[in-house]
Amino acid sequence: MDTLPSQDFKNANEYLDEILALFEEKCEEGGQVRDTCDKQSSLEIIDLKSENANLLKEVEALRKERDEANKRAKDLARLVEEQNEDFARKTRKLQWQVELQDKTIGAIKEGLNWKENALNVANVKECDCLVELKGAERTIEMLTKKASKKEETLKVNTIKGNSNHPNARVNKTKVFIKGKTFQVQMEVDPQAVSYSWLSSVLGREEGLPHSSPSSSPETCKFFLPMEVGTQGKMD
């Protein structure tokens, strides 16, 4: 086996020493780099932890905001439901009031029609009327004469009363309109109807004779206010 000369061996040792020195230098540099990386990594980790903490705070704040928003939404929904129920109650109440008013108006409409007719002919000075007393109803048909001499017929009003006398009748009437009062002049058959009953049916009397009725028709004057009642009773 060949052996290396001593000079070559020496050169090889020096070469190894240089390699070891270079390796140690590189290791030292590597250690410095490692330390630097470790420090940088530690700083980055600290920054990340701080950022994570801030993110957790933001998440918690968002969670609280979400919970508050949900609570407000529930409160608003409950308020809307209560308002809807209140609106429905008020609507039902108004509908009931409207229905009641409609029924009330319908119930008194016939009794008020004669007032409307009185307003319709407020400019008429004289009306010729035919009055008939039939059972429980008084039917008044008015034939009006206006200044133009044109004749027209008003609608018929039926006013219910408590008349049940089979012979009750009025022969002739003339109605004069003065504001809200009907001034009525009548010729009545004293054998058919008593003055007191006629007065109670038609309204307040004025100038009514207090003597017993004679066998011939007499002229009597009555006032019929707009609020005249229809609850007269036969004597």
Q: What is the pTM of this model?
A: 0.28
Kindly list the averaged pLDDT for each block of 10 residues, start to end, along the chain of length 235: 54 70 71 72 77 86 90 90 89 80 64 52 38 33 31 30 37 38 41 50 40 37 34 30
Structure tokens belonging to residue 192: 């058919």
Q: Return the pLDDT at 176.
A: 38
Q: Return the pLDDT at 113.
A: 58
Nearest to 134 by CA among 113, 173, 165: 165
Cα of first residue to Cα of last residue in the chain, in angstroms, is: 172
